Amino acid sequence: MITGDGAYIKKINRGLILRKIIEEQSVSRADLSKITGLNKATVSVQVADLLNEHLIFESQQEHNTVGRRPIMLSINRKAGYVLGVDLDYKQIQYIVTDLGGQPVHYKSVKLDTVDYDEIVAMLIQDIQHYQSEWASSEYGLISAIIGVHGTVSNDEKIHFVPAYQWENKSLKEDLENVLEIDISIQNNANLSAYAERVYAYHDSDNLLCIMLSSGIGVGLMVDGNLQTGFHGFSGEMGHMIIKQNGELCNCGNRGCWELYSSEKSLFIKLMKHMQVDYLTYDELEQLIEQKDSDTMAILEEYIVDLSTGLNNIINLYNPETVVLTSRVLKMYPNAIEKIKRNFHSTMSQYGSLVLSGLGYKSCSLGACALGIQRFLEVSEVVLTLDAPLVATSHKKDGFAIH
């Protein structure tokens, strides 16, 4: 039984009701009372407030039975919008969702610079555009949450971004000095793990999301909560050492996992073997479809190194769900089964190993979901996409040897 200050209890009840309306998508007052355990009077008062704030709306359920049609409650998706930003190397991805977590806009912008000030100026210009675009809604553009491919402290300051060589940057402060909107800076892998839990694996309290791209990032959900560590820097599994005296990494160590198991590392190895300076995902897919012997041999070695790191992580966390986000693994036949065959230890216990259905939109979607949760002040959100995500074609995307 919850006891305490009346205003606090009212806030808790409000959050519980909103959360259940989102989960159920359409629910009556009577059913809300049953689901939440709150009495009908409390539900009625809270619902009246939410209707006045235009956060929910009423509709009549259609049915063929005799009697009065029940009044159903649903979240007012168009009351406000949230912006999720994935600030990746050479690319910024933007997704806008409504309050139901449904994407209403997607855009990917190429970056030709690593200069911090230039990228900040670009972010300001784009966020201002989105503020203007959705200004006519009840609450407008509510927040912008930015996922960064690097270490972000608990106070949302950027500690280090290897790809950009940024150190100790106050991106949140630099943006809020110009923009009149709530800004949040988060680690990209944490946002991706959050998205997988919110949109796909609702019942998985212990989930790992492993991002395999230009580097490797790991988002951790333990007992249903994101684990960020003492300073906020947990999940940097790409920098665990799997080869003593191995290749030199940007972090200063040698033999880091991401030097052997990121997609960038795979592309570099393939390009060196092929003696080319640039290779696209489309070209790699063609080589896989043709079962090019050299390509397949390099991929088999890549799978072994990838499995080595995964084995270490699984032994550390005993996860229920391991989600791998990788464009390469999606085009490589039976990738998951091949990875599993490299788990020889009886100690490597986990629930399921899967490829992400959200792909590289997971970071931006996780940012939007977090923005919704914070705005509605609910303990958690469970969202369902109205339609499967359509993979964005980037056939000319790839990596180059510099």
Ordered per-residue pLDDT tens for the chain, 402 residues = 455 578 889 999 999 999 999 999 999 999 999 999 999 999 999 999 999 999 999 998 765 556 677 899 999 999 999 999 999 988 999 999 999 999 999 999 999 999 999 999 999 999 999 999 999 999 999 999 999 998 999 999 999 888 888 999 999 999 999 999 999 999 999 999 999 999 999 999 999 999 998 889 999 999 988 888 888 778 788 899 999 999 998 788 899 999 999 999 999 999 999 999 999 999 999 999 999 999 999 999 999 999 999 999 999 899 999 999 999 999 999 999 999 999 887 777 889 999 999 999 999 999 999 999 999 999 999 999 987 776 554 556 777 765
Residue 373, SS3 per DSSP: helix
Q: pTM for this structure?
A: 0.91
* Closest C-alpha to 207, from 318, 307, 101: 318
Spatial distance between the Cα atoms of 51 and 43, rounded to a whole number of angstroms = 12
SS (H, E, C) 214-269: CCEEEEEEECCEECCCCCCCCCCHHHCECCCCCCECCCCCECECHHHHCHHHHHHH
What type of residue sits at position 161? V
DSSP 3-state of 319 = coil
Cα atoms in the 13 Å half-sphere on the side-chain side of 75? 25
CATH number of 204-358: 3.30.420.40
Please report the pLDDT score of residue 230 as a whole number. Answer: 82
> What are 288's two structure tokens?
């896989």
pLDDT value of position 396 = 66
Question: Residue 365: what pLDDT?
Answer: 97
Assigned architecture for domain 78-193+361-381: 2-Layer Sandwich (3.30)
Q: What is the assigned CATH class of domain 6-75?
A: mainly alpha
pLDDT given at position 1? 42
Overall residue count recorded for the chain in this entry: 402
Spans of all domains in the chain: 6-75, 78-193+361-381, 204-358
- Whether 6-75 shares its CATH topology with 204-358 is answered no
**Looking at the DSSP assignment, which residues form a beta bridge with residue 212?**
216
Residue-wise burial string across 65-75, b where 16 or more C-beta atoms lie within 10 A, e elsewhere: eeeeebebbbb
